[in-house]
Structure 1
Amino acid sequence: MSAEQIASPIRVGVLGFGGLGQAAARVLAGKKQMLWVAVADREGYAYVEEGLNPDACIGSYQSRGSVGYLQPSGILSDRSIADLIAQASVDGYFLALPNLPNTFIASVVHQFIESGWQGVLVDAIKRTSAVEQLLELKDTLRQAGITYMTGCGATPGLLTVAAALAAQSYAEIHSVKITFGVGIANWEAYRSTIREDIAHLPGYNVEKARAMTDAEVEALLDRTDGILTLENMEHADDVMLELAGICSRDRVTVGGVVDTRHAKKPLSTNVQITGRTFEGKISTHTFTLGDETSMAANVCGPAFGYLKAATSLHRQGTYGLFTAAEIMPQFVR
């Protein structure tokens, strides 16, 4: 999509306004090709045709717990997503939502389908099983006139597509190993994300992590000095690379370290792709993210790049479900 083709900005909505949703608002504030007009959280929503003010929305959420208290455009609602879909004129939504329970994202997608809304949806979903639920909706999304991009964060997302690109050097892929380091100065800014990570720990699952109180989370972090070490995670990079024909999912592993008390990353995030070239040589490509880039930057940037790419597809009449490993993101200016 050229600059000439988007003389008017893409009108964007953000669903979910925790740490990731607030970061998305900050990212959009610097974009000329996208206009942030709609937002919803658990208790309310806001819609302004001329564009929302990030500072005002974040202030409302942090002081009173919902953008529904934003004056004069906020509206309190216990069905905020459905109400926002019905009211707002939006080209595409970024689903910055916690996937707790594991069926939550799919249930939100059903709301869009049932409403008759047409446009673009992008998520930064993590779990393989959650993406598999969306794959079952592929034909339904196509028939509904929705272009959906899934797994468009950092991992899955940025690192998955890096692996897909690096794989082109090889005749056969032996392994894809994703290792991430995340530094968060205050875990409460990303409560849902941390709970999703806890769900991957031995002895925990999605239901148990979701049911934990903030005090129980803090007690767990006290026992680990704020460090979560995650191995062999159920991450959708595997199914995405399998669907793209890169390698079978059993050759993909994901793990990492999350420091919930310091902004500095405990280790550098990277993906290693090992394979055999057509000459018979075994080699490894490594793609490493800069330590200065935050989790929010590495999730929101790709998500909006994919939203732009999906908007181009939607305007050409291409609907259905796609993964980050199938489509290249487009840079949003």
Structure 2
Amino acid sequence: MSTANIAPAIRVGVLGFGGLGQAAAKVLAGKGEMSLVAIADQKGYAYAAEGLDFKDCIATYQSQGSVGYLEPIGNLTNNSIQDLIDSAPSVDGYFLALPNLPNDFIPSVARQFIKSGWRGVLVDAIKRTSAVEQLIAMKDELQAAGITYMTGCGATPGLLTAAAALAAQSYAEIHQVEITFGVGIANWEAYRATVREDIGHMPGYTVEAARAMTDAEVEALLDKTNGVLTLTNMEHADDVMLELAGIVGRDRVTVGGVVDTRNPKKPLSTNVKVTGRTFEGKTSTHTFTLGDETSMAANVCGPAFGYLKAGKQLYQRGIYGIFTAAEIMPQFVR
């Protein structure tokens, strides 16, 4: 078989190496079209143009607290993202598996890329409407910098937003988009940032308050709720993404769910319901339900890399700026 027409693997970096970042590394290990070459965490980074061994990276992070300890390719630094950008110009795209705490953190990371002169594809799995709005406001800056930025490309927003955009095509008018998610994790400490973000959506809490909570305070809250967080009317960017795509006003989009932090079994099935009126005047509802066996990590990382591949195709055509999961179809990564 000739290999002359096989494109080289897309060289991918992962920013953030908590539960989501480690899952992303495992997902990439099974992909021939992408190669994990760079990782940054809070205390350091690792870069290898020929590719990183995800098992070594995870083992080093879990035993020593940073991939910066990975010999001989790790580097310890308090400025890991900037130092990685400067040290690894050949990375084609980055998945920002970062907490959005504080609310302007991911937009601030995007500004680091703009200022550095790096060009390529960035993808995030951001949640909050206000954070996505900050990124949308940077559209012209990203375009001028030669960066193709794919935002809101996880599960929700992301996979379910895209499903809603597709389901909407049956209708002349959309009445309601309702996203309900169930997440089960065996141990909240594996997804500390994600759980804190969820707490920030609860009544009586803010992003800042959740970020300031100690691990002991989080555990005390979880003890009160038997490990279960019930979330309603969340500030989730599915609303602004569907509005920007011209599908439905944000006031008709609701997102909520249940997170069980002590049981890997989902407390309920994740789904999106799109209700609308057909051209014949009939009201109907499409429901798209995710299989319970798919984990949060599978439903976030898979779409993120699918959108990174789609972003790479846009980038190669000279199309820069910012795009959402409701505008572009993800490309399956083999």
Determine the C-alpha separation between the residues in 1 that align with 2:301 and 2:317: 24
1:5, distance to aligned residue in structure 2 (A): 6.6
Secondary structure (helix, strand or coil) at the match of 2:322 reads strand
Residue 34 of structure 2 is matched in structure 1 by: 34
5+ residue gaps in structure 2? none
Determine the C-alpha separation between the residues in 2 that align with 1:8 and 1:44: 28
Amino acid at match of 1:87: S
Matches within 5 A, 1:120-159: 120-159=121-160
Residue 281 of structure 2 is matched in structure 1 by: 280
Residue 185 of structure 1 is matched in structure 2 by: 186
Amino acid at match of 2:92: D
Residue 270 of structure 2 is matched in structure 1 by: 269
Q: Does 1:291 align with 2:292?
A: yes
Residue 11 of structure 2 is matched in structure 1 by: 11
1:7, distance to aligned residue in structure 2 (A): 1.6
Amino acid at match of 2:208: E
Determine the C-alpha separation between the residues in 2 that align with 1:57 and 1:16: 12
Determine the C-alpha separation between the residues in 2 that align with 1:277 and 1:4: 49
Determine the C-alpha separation between the residues in 1 that align with 2:127 and 2:261: 19
Q: Does 1:82 align with 2:82?
A: yes
Determine the C-alpha separation between the residues in 1 that align with 2:5 and 2:87: 26
Secondary structure (helix, strand or coil) at the match of 1:126 reads coil
Residue 54 of structure 1 is matched in structure 2 by: 54
CA 225–108 in structure 1, closer or farther in 2 if over 3 Å, else same: same
Residue 175 of structure 1 is matched in structure 2 by: 176
1:178, distance to aligned residue in structure 2 (A): 0.1
Residue 306 of structure 1 is matched in structure 2 by: 307
CA 4–248 in structure 1, closer or farther in 2 if over 3 Å, else same: farther
How many residues are aligned here? 331
Task: Give the alignment's TM-score, normalised by structure 1.
Answer: 0.98
Amino acid at match of 1:146: I
For residues 228-266 of structure 1, the C-alpha deviation after alignment (integer angstroms, 9 at most, x for no partner) is 000000000000000000000000000000000000000
For residues 108-130 of structure 1, the C-alpha deviation after alignment (integer angstroms, 9 at most, x for no partner) is 00000000000000000000000
1:4, distance to aligned residue in structure 2 (A): 8.0
Residue 222 of structure 1 is matched in structure 2 by: 223
CA 94–6 in structure 1, closer or farther in 2 if over 3 Å, else same: farther
Determine the C-alpha separation between the residues in 2 that align with 1:6 and 1:23: 27
Q: Pairwise CA RMSD of aligned residues?
A: 0.9
CA 158–6 in structure 1, closer or farther in 2 if over 3 Å, else same: farther
Q: Does 1:66 align with 2:66?
A: yes
Determine the C-alpha separation between the residues in 2 that align with 1:6 and 1:269: 37
Residue 317 of structure 1 is matched in structure 2 by: 318
CA 327–73 in structure 1, closer or farther in 2 if over 3 Å, else same: same
> Could you tell me whether the CA contact under 8 Å between 1:42 and 1:78 is conserved in 2?
yes
Determine the C-alpha separation between the residues in 2 that align with 1:245 and 1:6: 37
> Could you tell me whether the CA contact under 8 Å between 1:6 and 1:33 is conserved in 2?
no
> Could you tell me whether the CA contact under 8 Å between 1:148 and 1:319 is conserved in 2?
yes
Amino acid at match of 1:193: T
For residues 81-127 of structure 1, the C-alpha deviation after alignment (integer angstroms, 9 at most, x for no partner) is 00000111200000000000000001000000000000000000000
Q: Does 1:196 align with 2:209?
A: no
- Aligned-pair identity in percent equals 79
> Could you tell me whether the CA contact under 8 Å between 1:45 and 1:75 is conserved in 2?
yes
Secondary structure (helix, strand or coil) at the match of 1:61 reads helix
Residue 249 of structure 2 is matched in structure 1 by: 248
1:72, distance to aligned residue in structure 2 (A): 1.2
Determine the C-alpha separation between the residues in 1 that align with 2:4 and 2:25: 25
> Could you tell me whether the CA contact under 8 Å between 1:195 and 1:210 is conserved in 2?
yes
5+ residue gaps in structure 1? none
1:144, distance to aligned residue in structure 2 (A): 0.3
Task: Give the alignment's TM-score, normalised by structure 2.
Answer: 0.98
For residues 127-157 of structure 1, the C-alpha deviation after alignment (integer angstroms, 9 at most, x for no partner) is 0000000011000000000000000000000
